[in-house]
Amino acid sequence: MNKGRSAAPPGAAGGPARHVPVLRERAIEALAVKPGGLYLDATFGAGGYSRAILASEATQVLALDRDPAAVAAGAALVGEFTGRLRLVGGRFSDLAEIAERAGFDAFDGMVLDVGVSSMQLDEAARGFSFRHDGPLDMRMETSGTSAADLVNEADEEHLADILFHFGEERLARKIARAIVSDRKSARFTSTKTLADLVARLVPHKPTDIHPATRTFQALRIAVNDELGELVRALHAAERVLRPEGRLVVVTFHSLEDRIAKQFFANRSGRGRATSRLLPGEIAPAEPTFVVPGRQPILPDAAELTANPRARSAKLRFGVRTDAPAQQANVSLHKLASLPVHARSGRR
């Protein structure tokens, strides 16, 4: 998306750069955009990456966004590049099916910019930010389970798991216990109410990130299944990129980056032993990506000055080989999931 996506601490709002795409120039460089190429912008946002790709002669872009507001706002850009930009509403985990329905079978490159956009953070009514009081929502598609539903209905153990595993919040159990206690007298309906509760529980200094940062990140990830979406999108990208096609992934926190890093490591054969196979041993699948060195790519000082939300961003990319796409990596799905509890069988 055209952002700084959540490049302030995840869940935070503010900063001067509402429509500045994070690492845009480095992403376009990694894509190696060529005239007449076909590209997939899987997280359209305000269209910053799409516009940069379309600046090359005769390029075409299929762009996706799961947020109906972003799709509606992108109509002007579609009109500006008549016949060269197609913008479709949908999740990037469904990109292979969406591409097929649109009549495209293989792409020269794809950019995937993960997380919540600046536009979503800055719109109080969407409920993503604790810095703007609004309804406790956080749904990118404005449908399905909201953050308020989770906070008011999930049991203490499930809430604690969400906060700990998706927010890396050390005081997850303490916060979950307080939420369950307080909601008995009144439902949580606003971002401020929840942020104030967390602020009372998490020790912090004025110079620290807001104490509710990790809690809001965790709820947002859970509401939108962001990590599961990322895993499925990476596997789908492997299927739709043609040989020499490039996959660029921009992430904004350690959970996302860990998934991208492990995907590229697994698909490039990094760490694989080169010794001969034992009798009867099955040969490993051929690498589907080549991963150039000097990664991850980070924002430089100039970008950080212009766009403080870029400070946690990391860019990784790989170049598709001609090897067949592999089966889904089970270990990546585990990274994107909550633990299974033996008593209930519930994640």
How confident is the model over 28-69, as pLDDT tens digits?
Answer: 999 999 999 999 999 998 899 999 999 999 999 999 999 898
Provide the whole-model pTM.
0.87
- Asked whether residue 312 is domain-assigned, the answer is yes
- The verdict on 232 and 312 lying in the same domain is yes
- The verdict on 307 and 239 lying in the same domain is yes
- The verdict on 59 and 108 lying in the same domain is yes
- The verdict on 67 and 161 lying in the same domain is no
Instruction: Dump pLDDT digits (tens) for 143-193.
Output: 889 999 999 999 999 999 999 999 999 999 999 999 999 999 999 999 999
- The verdict on 205 and 242 lying in the same domain is no
- The verdict on 219 and 238 lying in the same domain is no
- The verdict on 330 and 235 lying in the same domain is yes
Burial degree of 330 (CB within 10 A; 0-12, 13-18, 19+): exposed
- The verdict on 142 and 179 lying in the same domain is yes
- The verdict on 112 and 235 lying in the same domain is yes
- The verdict on 313 and 165 lying in the same domain is no
| pLDDT surpasses 60 at 17 | no
CATH number of the domain within which 167 lies: 1.10.150.170
CATH number of the domain within which 57 lies: 3.40.50.150
Please give the structure tokens belonging to residue 217.
């990140």
Q: In total, how many domains does the chain have?
A: 2
Tell me 277's DSSP state.
Answer: P
For 114, the domain range is 24-118+227-272+281-335
- Asked whether residue 4 is domain-assigned, the answer is no
Residue 150 phi/psi, 5° resolution?
-65, -50
Instruction: Dump pLDDT digits (tens) for 101-159.
Output: 999 999 999 999 986 655 545 554 454 566 668 899 989 887 889 999 999 999 999 99
155-159's contacts with Cβ under 8 Å and 24+ in sequence apart are 155/180, 156/180, 157/341, 158/338, 158/346
